[in-house]
Structure 1
Amino acid sequence: MPSDDVTSPFLIPGLLDVFRSKGIKRCIYYEPVEEKGLFSLNQTAASDVCGLLRADMIIADEKRRAAFMSIYDSFTTLFLMEEQDIQSVVRAMNWEAVICSDTACINWYSQ
């Protein structure tokens, strides 16, 4: 079973599918303290990405048009994308989401 402080591995296959559907070939991952790297979406299995996950982790495409972030000690994950119709992505992936507009403040969740 996943730890409370690590992103659920059940989210990762869908996340990678969204990246692939947008024509993204390679992703960068960051762990704020220790780790960073690059992986190819066509050569990396979801289980391999799950092995990279830490409590605080960012996965983004190389051009930083889309990013996924897990927040330590929180049940919050963020998915950020330049896509104009983010609602269709959320609906297609059957994700539960709060969709923010351009005018949303950065700390909307604490309001």
Structure 2
Amino acid sequence: NIGVVIAAPYASGWLANSEGTATYMYNQAPPDIVERTRHMTSICDAYDISLAAVALQFPLAHPAVAAVIPGAKSPQEAEQNRQYLMTPVPTNVWRVLKDEGLLDPNAPTPDP
């Protein structure tokens, strides 16, 4: 068996800080990505969960994924990544993201 390692789960920082100075895949985000991210953020906000926590935990549900490497520029960012991994994501968040077409309806999602 070969496991997949996921790098850049925040899309070069975009999903962790889309309202700040982050880029999307190292470039300015196109308008459709900005709108999609705003929609995802509003759903996460309704459940009091960070989009960054959702983005970091999502790939771990896939059976082929062995590890996720979020990267960190400082010890504080490393600690924040740990916090995102430990934050429970409500099951309804995954359901709503799928219902709204923001995640593939067949994508595996973490168990509650």
Q: TM-score, normalised by structure 2?
A: 0.29
Higher percent of residues as strand: 1
Higher percent of residues as helix: 2
